Amino acid sequence: MPKLGMEPIRRAALVKATIAEVGDVGSLQVTVGQIAKRAGMSSALAHHYFGGKDQIFLAAMRHILSEFKVEVLAELARLKPGAAPDKRAEAIIRACFAQTCFSPQAISAWMTFYVMAQTTPQALQLWRLYQSRLRSNLCHALRPVVADPKAAAATLSALIDGLYLRAALNDPEAGEVATERALVVLRLLRDG
């Protein structure tokens, strides 16, 4: 079995340190030096692995998005075989408001990500990819139950973002309320 090199271990440490540092500060107003120090390495090594703060943060967001994917897959795995088609959309909505999405670190990372996407092409591309996957998954889930699944998915996607922002800014424990509101809209789209 091949020996795992130090690079993946150090990269992972820098990603975790970035999420923690951004979470503590509440914005991207951190330095590569602060991130590297938290990860237990030099800023030169951090620059070597990522090139700069934006690239480290984008790697951190990719990590958060991969954790979100795990959350979605876990919710989908909880579905009983033969469950109604709209249950898949419900599972996706529940994953969007899972407790893990409301940690102080996750909230700070998402807020920073939205801001960064306005000025950084790579962040905008990553945000568009996230949005595209969310809408695609919702569209697939809604295809058997609504007349226009594409429009319904776009509506739910926008609603999810808005409810997340509101819950994150007002009350990180509001994930359950946000989930219920999104599920009400899902039922209206389904029954409408």
Sequential DSSP letters for 142-176: HTTT-S-HHHHHHHHHHHHHHHHHHHHHH-TTTHH
Residue 71 pLDDT greater than 80, yes or no? yes
pLDDT digits (tens, 9 = 90+) for 116-137: 999 999 999 999 999 999 999 9
Asked whether the beta carbons of 36 and 17 are under 8 A apart, the reply is: yes
pLDDT digits (tens, 9 = 90+) for 140-163: 999 999 999 999 999 999 999 999
- pLDDT value at position 189? 92
pLDDT digits (tens, 9 = 90+) for 93-103: 999 999 888 88
Length of the chain counted residue by residue: 192
- pLDDT value at position 156? 97
pLDDT band for position 5 (cuts 50, 70, 90): confident
Is pTM beyond 0.85? Reply is yes
Over residues 77-84, the mean pLDDT reads 91
What is the Cα–Cα distance from 189 to 153, expressed in whole angstroms? 10
- pLDDT value at position 171? 72
